[in-house]
């Protein structure tokens, strides 16, 4: 079945950012490096998210040569590479352009890519609806106790909740830290359920559906009243460990942390300590300091922690959404225009 995938700017969320890290877009002369005879490689690591052959077929009309490249394959014929994983060998493969099928490109060495003249683009702009649904789904699970009922079901047990365990989301508040594609996707859905939504971003401009936007310097104040704190920032030097002992201390004791950003944004040991001390009610975690989450982690076996396997963005349209960005950027390269979603 072929679905109609909107052309950028995406209808799923906010338009993709064009300079994620504040970098300049390329002059037209740089963009001439690729042409309509470009060879596009699809690194088979994309298979972690969708089948590489399905993606190749989706892109087949966008360039004359679209090929899957596997671990042993030479990258030399490729002008551009679409990938999930980062590998050091990409740096010496004479690539003009790498496209990450993730929004988060924290694994890529920005400075070295810049030195080598390799453009990096990402996939921000495509996850607002699905990650928004997952984050708000986690809030609903905690409020309606769905995770507890499912655990009882697995044991064939019939237990009603205590009279005051479950609560309606309508009267609750959420603070969304990071108000880009993901954050707005979370905020609009939380707001639609009647929640009071506040948020945090470095440039605290008004955001639709968000009652109050604070800068990161006021993070403690921003999270203090929220029943749910949802993290949706990129992993950077500034955001690494931004939620730690002091921040958990600033949160309500009956608050839940939702992390759909990156594991290291949270100091995981401090989170476990805060849960043990009853300083937080629970956590819904899609991302972790180490992935997969190690079997010995104490996060696996806590009733008030819901673990999802970095799956918040998964959906059966993922390959089409990425293909729409890549196709648009191939067109821009050919036309000598600036690329969308450019990071380096
Ligand atoms: P965007 O670039 O659209 O949004 C990032 C937001 O974070 C912006 O609002 C930005 O606003 C804000 N921000 C950046 N730095 C800070 C800071 N130091 N303090 C507070 N706010 C900050 O990215 P996306 O929403 O597409 O993705 C965000 C991240 O989520 C990705 O980088 C990735 O790591 C993760 N992700 C996880 C997924 C999953 O499957 N779990 C799926 C997709 C993304 P401002 O510039 O004003 O600060
Ligand atoms: C695969 C994860 C991102 O940064 O990590 C997410 O985009 C995507 C669905």
For 62, the token pair is 């966008």
The domain in which residue 152 lies consists of: 128-307
Q: Answer yes or no: do 133 and 246 share one domain.
A: yes
Mean pLDDT over residues 34-58, rounded?
A: 91
Ligand nearest to the CA of 47: 2
Beta 65-69 vs 39-43: how paired, if at all? parallel
% of the chain beyond a pLDDT of 90: 87
Rounded to the nearest whole angstrom, what is the distance from the C-alpha of residue 155 to the centroid of ligand 2? 33
* Rounded CA separation 35/247 (Å): 50
Say what the pLDDT of residue 334 is: 86
Q: Which protein residues touch ligand 2 with a CB less than 6 Å away?
A: 49, 102-104, 123, 127, 310, 313-314
C-alpha count within 13 angstroms, C-beta hemisphere, residue 148: 15
Ligand nearest to the CA of 315: 2
State pTM to two decimals: 0.93
Q: Answer yes or no: do 186 and 235 share one domain.
A: yes
- Alpha-carbon distance values, 218 to 213, 215, 235, 253 (Å): 10, 6, 19, 19
Q: What is the pLDDT of residues 243-281, one digit of tens each?
A: 999 999 999 999 999 999 999 999 999 999 999 999 999
Ligand nearest to the CA of 203: 1
Q: What is the pLDDT of residues 303-331, one digit of tens each?
A: 999 999 999 999 999 999 999 999 999 99
Count structural domains, the chain. Answer: 2
Nearest by Cα to 131 from 177, 186, 71: 186
Q: What are phi and psi of 89, to 5 degrees?
A: -65, -15
Compute the residue count for the chain. 344
Say what the pLDDT of residue 36 is: 63
Q: Answer yes or no: do 301 and 153 share one domain.
A: yes
The confidence band for 32, taking pLDDT boundaries of 50, 70 and 90, is very low
Average pLDDT, the chain: 91
Task: Please spell the DSSP secondary structure of 208-247, one letter per residue.
Answer: TT-SEEE-GGGHHHHHHT-SEEEE-----TTTTT-BSHHH
For 209, the token pair is 């559906």
pLDDT greater than 60 at residue 18: no
Catalytic residue positions, numbered: 262, 291, 310
Does 11 fall in a domain?
A: no
* Rounded CA separation 215/212 (Å): 10
Rounded to the nearest whole angstrom, what is the distance from the C-alpha of residue 160 to the centroid of ligand 2? 37
Q: What are phi and psi of 85, to 5 degrees?
A: -90, 155
Q: Answer yes or no: do 141 and 215 share one domain.
A: yes
pLDDT greater than 60 at residue 297: yes
Q: Answer yes or no: do 136 and 216 share one domain.
A: yes
Three-state DSSP class for residue 167: coil
Residue with tokens 């950012």, as numbered in its chain:
17
* Rounded CA separation 114/123 (Å): 19
Does 164 fall in a domain?
A: yes
Is 312 touching ligand 1 by the criterion CB < 6 Å? yes
- Report whether the peptide linkage leading into residue 292 is cis, meaning its omega lies within 30 degrees of zero: yes
Three-state DSSP class for residue 19: strand
Q: Answer yes or no: do 132 and 279 share one domain.
A: yes
Is 222 touching ligand 1 by the criterion CB < 6 Å? no
Is 207 touching ligand 1 by the criterion CB < 6 Å? no
Q: Show Cβ contacts of residue 314 under 8 Å, excluding neighbours closer than 6 positions.
A: 49, 130
* Rounded CA separation 176/165 (Å): 24
pLDDT greater than 50 at residue 2: no
Beta bridge partners of 281: none
Q: Answer yes or no: do 40 and 179 share one domain.
A: no
Is 216 touching ligand 1 by the criterion CB < 6 Å? yes
Rounded to the nearest whole angstrom, what is the distance from the C-alpha of residue 234 to the centroid of ligand 1? 4
Ligand 2 pocket test, pick from 99, 104, 321 with the greatest ligand atom count within 8 Å of Cβ, gives: 104
Nearest by Cα to 195 from 280, 282, 132, 130: 132
Ligand 2 pocket test, pick from 103, 122, 325 with the greatest ligand atom count within 8 Å of Cβ, gives: 103
Q: Answer yes or no: do 298 and 155 share one domain.
A: yes
Say what the pLDDT of residue 35 is: 52
More confident residue, 15 or 65: 65
Three-state DSSP class for residue 192: helix
Compute and round to an integer the Cα radius of gyration of the chain. Answer: 21
Rounded to the nearest whole angstrom, what is the distance from the C-alpha of residue 202 to the centroid of ligand 1? 11
Say what the pLDDT of residue 37 is: 64
Q: Answer yes or no: do 83 and 231 share one domain.
A: no
Does 219 fall in a domain?
A: yes
Ligand 1 pocket test, pick from 23, 178, 220 with the greatest ligand atom count within 8 Å of Cβ, gives: 178
Does 15 fall in a domain?
A: no
Q: Answer yes or no: do 91 and 227 share one domain.
A: no
Q: Answer yes or no: do 74 and 183 share one domain.
A: no
CATH of the domain at 34: 3.40.50.720
Mean pLDDT over residues 136-150, rounded?
A: 98
């Amino acid at each position: 079945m072929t679905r109609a995938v909107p052309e950028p700017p995406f209808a799923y969320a906010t338009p993709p950012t064009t300079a994620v890290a504040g970098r300049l877009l390329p002059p037209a002369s740089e963009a001439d490096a690729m042409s309509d005879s470009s060879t596009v490689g699809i690194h088979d690591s994309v298979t972690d998210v969708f089948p590489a052959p399905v993606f190749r077929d989706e892109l087949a009309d966008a360039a004359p040569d679209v090929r899957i490249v596997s671990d042993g394959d030479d990258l030399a014929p490729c002008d551009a590479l679409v990938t999930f994983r980062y590998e050091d060998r990409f740096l010496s493969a004479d690539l003009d352009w790498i496209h990450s099928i993730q929004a988060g490109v924290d694994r890529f060495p920005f400075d070295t890519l810049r030195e080598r003249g390799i453009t990096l683009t990402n996939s921000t702009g495509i996850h607002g609806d699905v990650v928004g649904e997952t984050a708000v789904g986690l809030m609903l699970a905690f409020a309606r106790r769905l995770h507890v009922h499912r655990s009882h079901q697995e044991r064939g047990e019939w237990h009603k909740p205590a009279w005051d365990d479950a609560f309606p989301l309508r009267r609750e508040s959420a603070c969304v830290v990071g108000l880009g594609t993901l954050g707005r996707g979370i905020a609009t859905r939380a707001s639609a359920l009647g929640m009071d939504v506040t948020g945090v971003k470095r440039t605290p401009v008004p955001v639709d559906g968000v009652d109050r936007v604070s800068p990161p310097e006021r993070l403690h104040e921003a999270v203090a009243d929220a029943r749910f704190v949802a993290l949706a920032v990129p992993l950077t030097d500034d955001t690494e460990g931004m939620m730690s002992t002091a921040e958990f201390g600033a949160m309500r004791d009956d608050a839940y942390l939702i992390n759909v950003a990156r594991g290291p944004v949270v100091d995981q040991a401090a989170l476990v300590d805060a849960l043990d001390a009853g300083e937080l009610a629970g956590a819904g975690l899609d991302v972790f300091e180490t992935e997969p989450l190690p079997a010995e982690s104490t996060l696996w076996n806590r009733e008030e922690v819901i673990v999802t396997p970095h799956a918040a963005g998964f959906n059966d349209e993922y390959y089409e959404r990425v293909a729409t960005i890549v196709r648009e950027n191939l067109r821009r390269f050919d036309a000598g225009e600036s690329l969308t979603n450019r990071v380096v």
